[in-house]
Structure 1
């Protein structure tokens, strides 16, 4: 293991530029500030993203098809705001393309479109994609890996594929005899899935609706978002209050995708969503560490693990 790596090491696997800042930006900023080595792997450049800035509409795939490199620049700016120096694209920039999405029949969960680009991440060979991540895992040897749940949160095919790749790569990286050319085996002690608790989201939406803002009048409840989980299923809550400004700055860096209006933000659908200072996680692999006596949840993703 390179001597320059600190004792605490975290790896996050996200699908597109902006996913990391929206869902885990405060967590990333907090651990980077505390001296942990934070590595972000982004699986695509987000080439199919819906652009919220009219003056940049020409970057869209149906025009110049230049959104991917532009969003890679936005991601670099976001990482500078979070003070995260180690960022990679899975397999290198442009290796896998954003698959795009359409809304399913229920209007709440995303599904893959009928037509996919030949390089679409959704169509990627699972072991090939996992091997790219195995190499990263064995290089940085994280104690904590963060990705999405098996539904990819709201169902985007690239989020589901990121979950699959991260899960498979974690298992493969731990096998001593597997692909020894990718480095010595490493067994990641803890894996977390990002989570949005129903009760917390509902409380935030109620407050935002009373305050007023874009996109709130047509929301009946937290269940309209289609990706919520029960608060009882949450294993860890990371308080990023001291790093909220950095998170919002990172979100603003993704200017083609996000419009930030504290205390909420909107995407291309103009549906308001709260900006979280606390971020929530479910433990998918490993043993829970010591919990907060008052809440019975972890307040540190590294709880219970050593260097």
Structure 2
């Protein structure tokens, strides 16, 4: 007598702690609640993050202690626990090559980007080899990554996209097994609607974004959307767990990073499939997976 049906496996690759919640937190919680085997692999500890408020400011790279990365491991663990179903084993952080293997590169042109340990300074072959190890160990059906622009141009996001594309090409070539690949993106119409709804409740000291200040994609480029309304509270709790980087508005319907620009917390997360052309808009990333 055999066991139960084989598990569906979803792998998400992210550059820094908090990216997993900001971009895909609802999707993580949605599929964990559905019993899917989920893994989140983070490439750096986010050492160069801009710390919000004075309480932990001294941990930052330019704050003296340079201990922010270690602290953010705890934030990531708390966020993943918030995204996990009640009564289950909390999803645990996984770091590419082990925690601290590569360092947050900071923004393009910053001194951090020239650090020998920065992710952007690492030979791409080394990063790809480490990611192939994760792929072999987890054997995912679906992978979520960034677009070529790295969402908003962060060098580490670009490197994650580049390494993921190269690793998947080798992995699928070796195994002969198809993997569905999606880029996490923002839908322009949903972004506009969320900002319009937030216009009359902007917290003091925050501001609405200027035109084009937040990246988004035309609706006709969206090929998948996941309704995360049932787990939206988990995403809000996970955002709050990343307290050095994220502030959740009193309404719990918006958040801001250290720049205090309002961003909506939507009930749908959007994706673009890149491994194969599709027709229509999927509502399940595992659609067609056997």
**TM-score where L is the length of structure 1:** 0.86
Equivalent residue, structure 2, for 1:181:
none
Return the offset for 1:53. 2.8
Q: 1:4 to 1:89 in 2, by over 3 A?
A: farther
What RMSD over aligned residues (CA atoms) do the two structures have, in Å? 1.9
Q: Secondary structure at the match of 1:210?
A: coil
Return the offset for 1:7. 2.3
Q: Between Structure 1 and Structure 2, how many residues are aligned? A: 279
8 Å CA contact retained: 2:146, 2:160: yes
Is residue 2:230 matched to residue 1:224? no
Between the aligned partners of 1:235 and 1:18, the Cα distance in structure 2 is 24
Equivalent residue, structure 1, for 2:34:
34
Q: 1:4 to 1:14 in 2, by over 3 A?
A: farther
Larger CA deviation: 196-205 vs 13-22? 196-205
Equivalent residue, structure 1, for 2:200:
210
Between the aligned partners of 2:92 and 2:275, the Cα distance in structure 1 is 24
Between the aligned partners of 1:33 and 1:133, the Cα distance in structure 2 is 26
Q: 1:173 to 1:66 in 2, by over 3 A?
A: same
Equivalent residue, structure 2, for 1:163:
161
Equivalent residue, structure 2, for 1:305:
289
Q: Secondary structure at the match of 1:166?
A: helix
Between the aligned partners of 1:36 and 1:146, the Cα distance in structure 2 is 14
Q: Work out which of the residue numbers 163, 173, 193 in structure 2 matches 1:175.
A: 173
Return the offset for 1:301. 0.4
Larger CA deviation: 121-130 vs 204-213? 204-213
Equivalent residue, structure 2, for 1:54:
54
8 Å CA contact retained: 1:209, 1:216: no
Question: CA offsets per residue over residues 82-115 of structure 1, 9 Å max, x none?
Answer: 12525310110000100011xxxxxxxxx34255
Question: CA offsets per residue over residues 5-63 of structure 1, 9 Å max, x none?
Answer: 94210000000000000110010001011110000000000000000031111101121
Gaps of 5+ in 2: 85-89
Equivalent residue, structure 1, for 2:270:
280
Within 5 A, what are the aligned runs for 1:72-151? 72-83=73-84, 85-101=91-107, 111-113=108-110, 116-151=114-149
Q: 1:153 to 1:210 in 2, by over 3 A?
A: same
8 Å CA contact retained: 2:245, 2:258: yes
Q: 1:112 to 1:171 in 2, by over 3 A?
A: farther
Return the offset for 1:210. 3.0
Between the aligned partners of 2:176 and 2:58, the Cα distance in structure 1 is 44
Return the offset for 1:186. 6.2
Q: Secondary structure at the match of 1:39?
A: strand
Gaps of 5+ in 1: 102-110, 177-184
Is residue 2:196 matched to residue 1:190? no
Return the offset for 1:72. 0.6
Q: 1:217 to 1:258 in 2, by over 3 A?
A: closer
Return the offset for 1:216. 6.0
Between the aligned partners of 2:206 and 2:245, the Cα distance in structure 1 is 19
Return the offset for 1:138. 1.1
Question: CA offsets per residue over residues 265-303 of structure 1, 9 Å max, x none?
Answer: 011111111112210000011353xx7xxxx31000000
Return the offset for 1:257. 0.5
Question: CA offsets per residue over residues 201-235 of structure 1, 9 Å max, x none?
Answer: 112112211333356655333x122x211011000
Return the offset for 1:197. 1.3
Within 5 A, what are the aligned runs for 1:3-22? 6-22=6-22
